[in-house]
Amino acid sequence: MTPKPAAAAARATVYGYPRQGENRELKKAVEGYWKGRVDAGALRETAAELRRSSWRQLTEAGLHEVPTGDFSYYDHVLDTSVMVGAVPDRHRAAVEADALDGYFAMARGTQDVAPLEMTKWFDTNYHYLVPELGPDTVFTADSRKQVAELKEALALGHSARPVLVGPVTYLLLAKPAQGVAPDFEPLTLLDRLLPVYAEVLADLRAAGAEWVQLDEPALVQDRTPAELNAAARTYRDLGGATDRPKLLVASYFGRLGDALGVLAKAPVEGLALDFTESGAANLEDLAAVGGLPGKRLVAGVVNGRNIWINDYQKSLGTLGTLLGLADQVDVAASCSLLHVPLDAAAERGIDPQIARWLAFARQKTAEIAVLARGLAQGTDGITAELAANRADLASRTGSALTRDPAVRARAAAVTDADGRRSQPYAVRTAAQRAQLGLPLLPTTTIGSFPQTSELRVARADLRAGRIDAAGYEERIKDEIREVLSFQEKTGIDVLVHGEPERNDMVQYFAEQLTGYLATEHGWVQSYGTRYVRPPVLAGDISRPDPMTVRWTTYSQAQTSKPVKGMLTGPVTMLAWSFVRDDQPLGDTARQVALALRDEVNDLEAAGTPVIQVDEPALRETLPLRAAEHAAYLAWATESFRLTTSGVRPDTQIHTHMCYAEFGDIVRAIDDLDADVISLEAARSHMQVADELAEHGYPREAGPGVWDIHSPRVPGTGEAAALLRKGLEAIPAERLWVNPDCGLKTRGWPETRASLENLVAAAREVRAELASERS
């Protein structure tokens, strides 16, 4: 459908933008501040310049309204906790002494004080810091950050719209604070929180805000009648306030469902909805509730989570339909552009044929501006852009780069038997124990060891030609020997080689698989100052050659202790990539699984007794609606089993997951049929151990006893206490001892001290068990 020109000119906007800068200036400034090389003033000026640059890019691209408040030094949910005064008691003194240092202490912890728990932001790979609330929580408004950033944008001449995490989503994301009954419901604090939000809104209006956006993505999940009533009461009260700006309530990541009717009736001036594939049902639902007469609708028709170009004709058809359903229709991405890299034009090494299919944040803002012009002026105003877009889409559809008949034939030939181990777990564990000879409470690590500056220099020297491949490999061998030697001296039972040759747990494999392509500058924030470069999955997947066998067998030759082979699982390979959108995810997962199956079998043939296939994204990728869980988990667990089921019974298969709500997927964890699973548990105080026990999980597990995303070193007593708590849920014969996650982001001093304490804790608790049993 070709839209007629809009009655009021359509505006172009976004909900958020990448924070890091073209060269990750924010990461460098924040880490410099932590190390004492950058003072607070310089950090703030770097942040201000990044904001100015982002707003300038957006307006130059043709956007009419820029977001403010979406910028963050670490995490926007943590910013919200500061805004409403929800600072945990253990951090209050630090925040009062120095707001910036206290902010980072909440995020990272200190040697004496634990940080806030961290988990995934809905079904993305972004991590947020979980608010800690209780019946005694007192909220107080602190709008200084939000007001200051709005004033910055207005002073520069921009039309600006502050963006806040909405109060319902904030409370639904929260957890009971330490010491609070676990069944406490943070949503019961809503009446206490709403006046604080009203005060912040009044402050923003006084500072010049015409509109304020309140993000409520939690409403796209299954919600109880009580939660929907809370949403209705929230926007009845906030909408009924007299001293406020216009309110735009935004949802994203999917269909609003029952919440749409609630928000459509609320006394707010606008709604923002997702109309991409994940939220396509919002169009039908919006018509069913009678549209939004007299209100503004911000239509998310450009995918804010993937990197493929928009289909202009399809989006204009959606926008044309929406013109009859709202008083004002504006154009946006489906969610914040935080989840995509900054600029595809910076990628000089990508095949030009593929490059024309890609749209990063800058390209998406240009797409939004084109669609807004098309909506406002009619398609005659964007004739050239439509023609170019059709040509680019046709180029991808007809490209031989996307299809490999041999890969498709192999995937089609998979049988149910290919995804099942040859023997049940009881038989396998006996064979594995006989082969490995491990003690009670065996110790291991998750895979990576610190990526030192020397390793980064070696990679840079190789790329620049200052050393040859042989020289680089000698440096890698030196690092592996050092890592193995440290583990042996420390007394770790199952070793890892430390992965010094790997740049990233997904990119490393993607660079060796057909169908993937890597970016040079495609950085995306995962948490805090941790940025990743998700590869682009553009075509059918196969493994031309072994990927890890050489370094794994080299490492095993250096020690008599077992060394784990380390792989990234098929679901995580998809979730942490920009995956193709032209075939079902399950089909792509099967292709990746078959490629990894070849690697697993080659590792076993080379003598690797323990193989770990990491799936930290299994929970992250779980659909937001329960009705879609079964279909997803069926192909997700099948792909893991397809990867790992070709080995002998005495080969021990491990998997690893971290920073997610595991209780939602315990049955699926069981269905993976891994012999051992390691999970993040330190920040959540062994919650996952109880969840496994409640399910009756029958295999071995290692809930983590060291939170590796904090610089603090846990003492032996702290680690031993967590182990004892783990033993309340998991029998000693099935309990492993390990950190929460890989150690790539940590430094060697804290790694040495923490692992020495971990091993000492395992020995201490082993001795206690031996004494009890004697």
Active-site residues: which are they? 709
Pairing of strands 536-542, 514-517: antiparallel
Count H helices and E strands in the chain, helices first.
28, 20
Burial (CB count within 10 angstroms: exposed 0-12, middle 13-18, buried 19+), residue 181: exposed
Amino acid letter at 324?
G
Q: Rounded to whole angstroms, what are the CA distances from 504 to 447, 451, 501, 639?
A: 12, 10, 9, 21
Give dist(CA 640, CA 591) in Å, integer: 11
Q: H or E segment at 532?
A: strand 530-532
Q: Which residues pair with 8 in a beta bridge?
A: none
Extract the tokens encoding 727.
């033993």
- Is 149 within 8 Å of 159 (Cβ atoms)? no
| Alpha-carbon span 426 to 420, nearest angstrom | 14
Amino acid at 642: L
C-alpha–C-alpha distance, residues 493 and 764, integer Å: 15
C-alpha span between 286 and 574 (Å, rounded):
32
Contact between 542 and 595 (Cβ < 8 Å): yes
- Can you state the angle between helices 40-60 and 25-34, rounded to 10 degrees? 170
The alpha carbon of 465 is separated from its chain's Cα centroid by a whole number of angstroms, namely: 35
Neighbours of 480 (CB within 10 A): 22
> CB–CB of 709/114 below 8 Å?
no
Give the dihedral sign, CA 335/148/118/220. negative
CA distance 620 to 69: 26
Cα–Cα distance for residue pair 18/72, rounded to 1 Å: 10
In angstroms, what CA-CA distances link 454 with 476, 481, 500?
A: 10, 15, 10
Q: How far apart are the first and last CA of the chain?
A: 80
Q: Which residues of 212-232 are buried (b: 16+ CB within 10 A; e: fewer)?
A: bbbbbbbbbbebeeebbebbb
**Percentages of the chain per state (helix, strand, coil), in multiples of 5:** 50, 15, 35
Nearest to 346 by CA among 601, 83, 23: 23
Structure tokens at 57: 């890019």
Find, among 643, 667, 669, 647, the residue nearest to 656 by Cα.
Answer: 669
Task: Please state whether 109 falls in left (phi above 0), alpha (psi between -120 and 50) or beta.
Answer: left
Cα–Cα distance for residue pair 471/460, rounded to 1 Å: 13
Angle at 295 (CA atoms; ends 290, 298), nearest 5 degrees: 95
Strands 676-679 and 118-120, bridge-based pairing? unpaired
Q: Say which residue the tokens 């299809």 belong to.
A: 403
Nearest to 85 by CA among 157, 143, 43: 143
Token pair of 88 as six digits: 């945990």
**Residue 621 DSSP SS3:** coil
Q: What residues form DSSP beta bridges with 250?
A: 215, 272
Of residues 708, 640, 629, 706, the one with CA closest to residue 669: 640
**From start to end of 650-723, where are the E strands?**
652-657, 676-679, 700-703
Query: Could you tell me the two tokens for 462?
Result: 């190789």
